[in-house]
Amino acid sequence: MHSSSFIASFSPKNNKLMQLLFKIIRAFLILALAAGLVVAGLLLHATYTNYTPPPTESLDTQGSANDTLSNELSFLIWNIGYAGLGKESDFFYDGGKMSIPTREMSQKNLQGVTQFLTQNKADFVLLQEVDIKSRRGYGVNQVEHIGKALAPYNTTFATNYKVAFVPQPFTNPMGGVHGGLASYSRFKPSSSMRYQLPGSFEWPLSVYFLDRCLLVQRYPLSNGKELVVVNTHHSAYDGGKLKKHEMEFIQKLYQEEYDKKGNYIVVGGDWNQCPPHFQPDKFWKTGMNKPAQMTIEPDFLPQWLWVYDPKVATNREVTAPYSPDKSFTTVIDFYLISPNVELLEVKGIDVGFEYSDHQPVYMKVKLKP
């Protein structure tokens, strides 16, 4: 009986099954090895081509505007979301499905942003998430496109996101990205500098995430001081760890500019955290998500003024397309001004998140004698 069972186990039928099993295992191992090589190749390529900016970098400014600075000035800030996060969009990294918009969405959003900016002009326009050349923006130079519409405003760009190929999501990769901060003004700056903010994610995330920075521009004043205008976009998805280092860095920088030099400081942009004394869930409604959101400590530069409109949300969640009754919104886009700058007006502008997952904020100030 044992002999016949032994012979049966090596019958032609069972032998074919074993051969088929070996082929399947071999194919699986080959696929796993190939996938591993692809992942390793992507990581090596991203690491080798990783954008590593210096601590400070002088930036070129294009344009012919050279108006005379007055003591009353207007500002507008807006994270335009690379013209890819209009009201019909969600985003895969926040729990949605989309990685890039359709070409029609991108064109609609960029046209809407540009039209708004030309119809609501300010002396200074500080934009975040503006692409130079990216797959998600279909290769359009958005910085130049907006600059031409605002001409003869001066245009300055600071890179904070430059990756040769972002492989996520694997079904429709984001691909190549080159974007950053874009500042436009009616005045000619004496200097434009990129300041690298401290901290980064651990490798390999560090080669695929943004290199956060400040775009700092200086404008000479008749009293011998300078107006220092800062375009900023702080870290996201960091649990507060990177923002802590960033805030410590800017605190020292701004104190030096005001306390030691007596300069006038205006900072505006996307802080990825709420301003002091603002309740993050102010606009929350029953049935909405309630994402965790940091708030800046009240004792951070206590003599300075945080400028925002508490009545208008500036940012929405992008887990799904925008719905006024379902989408959680809050305020994370605002200004910080030094004590020698007087606030005259601030106004959040509700455009229904039509063209971006952020909304613009207008401010008017007066430089004190």
Q: Is residue 53 pLDDT above 70, yes or no?
A: yes
pLDDT band with cut points at 50, 70 and 90 for residue 63: very high
In terms of residues, how long is the chain? 369
What does DSSP assign to residue 367?
E
CB 179 within 8 A of CB 130: yes
Q: Is residue 68 pLDDT above 50, yes or no?
A: yes
Residues 107-164 pLDDT 10s: 999 999 999 999 999 999 999 999 999 999 999 999 999 999 999 999 999 999 999 9
B/e letters for 78-93, b = 16+ CB within 10 Å, e = fewer, are: bbbbbbbbbbebbbbe
pLDDT band with cut points at 50, 70 and 90 for residue 208: confident
Q: Is residue 30 pLDDT above 70, yes or no?
A: no
pLDDT band with cut points at 50, 70 and 90 for residue 26: confident
B/e letters for 161-199, b = 16+ CB within 10 Å, e = fewer, are: bbbbebbeeeeeebeebbbbbbbbbbbbbeebbbbbbeb
Residues 274-312 pLDDT 10s: 999 999 999 999 999 988 889 999 999 999 999 999 999
- Phi (first) and psi of residue 227, to 5 degrees: -90, 120
Q: How confident is the model over 244-271, as a mean pLDDT? A: 98
The helix/strand/coil state of 237 is: coil
Q: Is residue 78 pLDDT above 80, yes or no?
A: yes
Q: Is residue 354 pLDDT above 80, yes or no?
A: yes
